[in-house]
Chain A
Amino acid sequence: MTSAKQVSSTQLIWTCVALMLLLLLTVGLFQLPLGSAHLIAGLSIAFLKTLLILAIFMNLKGGSGVLRLTAAVGILWLCFAILGIISDYTTRGWQETLDPGLEQGTHYSSSDRVEASTAD
């Protein structure tokens, strides 16, 4: 493992400018009536910002493979937790008739929840 190369000051300043612009973009997008797309837009911009900070400020760009792997593993494991757990909540009630008295075979998208027909 060799020591990482430094990032130049101008590069750092431009990165910060880009981050600020992205921040303005998030707030700007939020003023538009996008409905459920807000979540996607907000998270995508957050991911973009994170990548910039990781690559430039935290100098993963010039860092060794092990460091990048470590960063990736942390995020990947968080995804394991989120995906595994949310998979339980989104499939609750599938293939189960939770309520006696209603005919077997009626399919409920989820017996615990309001059917999301129009909502985000």
Chain B
Amino acid sequence: MNRTSSIVAMQFDDSEQQHSAALLGMWIFLATEVLFFGGLFVAYTVYRYEYSDAFAEGSEHLAIWSGAVMTGLLLMGSLLIALSENVFERDHMHRVFWNLISTAVLGILFLSFEFYEYHDLIKHQLFPGAAFHWPEKQSTPLSGRSVEIYFVLFFCMTGLHALHMIIGISLVSGLAFYLRYSKNPRRLKNPLTVIGLYWHFVDIIWIFLFPLFYLI
């Protein structure tokens, strides 16, 4: 640990204490995030139990390959950001910068896939609400009314995830540039760890969304 180059905040005794506080704080924040998404996972469980057939119907409108590619993109991003912590320890700030930028680009690719999917669903009048239209001929065995619930959940859950992705991408790219132009980049060790944790967490959420919405 490079104690001398870190600037310790007034309330802490040393950088060690500051680092553990930052880590614990972030993990607690992630626990709250689990429960924030949790409300939606509860709703998903209840309605999947009530309308399992409708969920299977609805999921036929999602392309599995695209979901799989999206998962792959996120996992790659996670790897890069985890690697950048190692690189950071070895003071290769240039590589850290490029790792972070690549992560952000992978995230943007992920979002493009997702928004293309939204676009497609909206075109087929599958966005829930007044315009929702469920073609009669496919309605076996449940009518569109409970399929609509599936799409409500789909848009809410992936939408909330996308919001987290946007925040994550801004944080990662912000950090990348801050790091590049900072005079004392070693100060940014805690932010790098914390933002990395956040990125991995958003990743985990998608790992569950993928089987729950695409693989029914």
Direct contact of A and B (CB under 8 A): yes
Contacts of B71 in A (CB 8 A): 23
Closest 7 interchain pairs by CB?
A42-B211, A74-B31, A74-B34, A16-B79, A1-B20, A70-B27, A78-B38
- B53 near A86 with CB under 8 A, answer no
What per-residue 1/0 map shows which CB atoms of B32-47 lie under 8 Å from chain A? 1111001101100110
Q: Determine the main DSSP class of B at the interface with A.
A: helix
Contacts of A16 in B (CB 8 A): 75-76, 78-79
**What's the count of A-B pairs with C-beta under 8 Å?**
133
A26-B215, A46-B208, A86-B49 as given contacts; A2 in contact with B64, CB under 8 Å: no
Contacts of A49 in B (CB 8 A): 204, 207
- A26 near B211 with CB under 8 A, answer yes
Instruction: Give the interface residue-count category, chain A.
Output: 35 or more
A98 within 8 A of B: no
B residues sitting closer than 8 Å to A (CB atoms) are: 1, 16, 19-20, 23-24, 27-28, 30-35, 38-39, 41-42, 45-46, 49-50, 52-53, 64-65, 68, 71-72, 75-76, 78-79, 82-83, 85-86, 89, 196-197, 200-201, 203-204, 207-208, 210-212, 215-216
What per-residue 1/0 map shows which CB atoms of A37-56 lie under 8 Å from chain B? 01100110110011001101
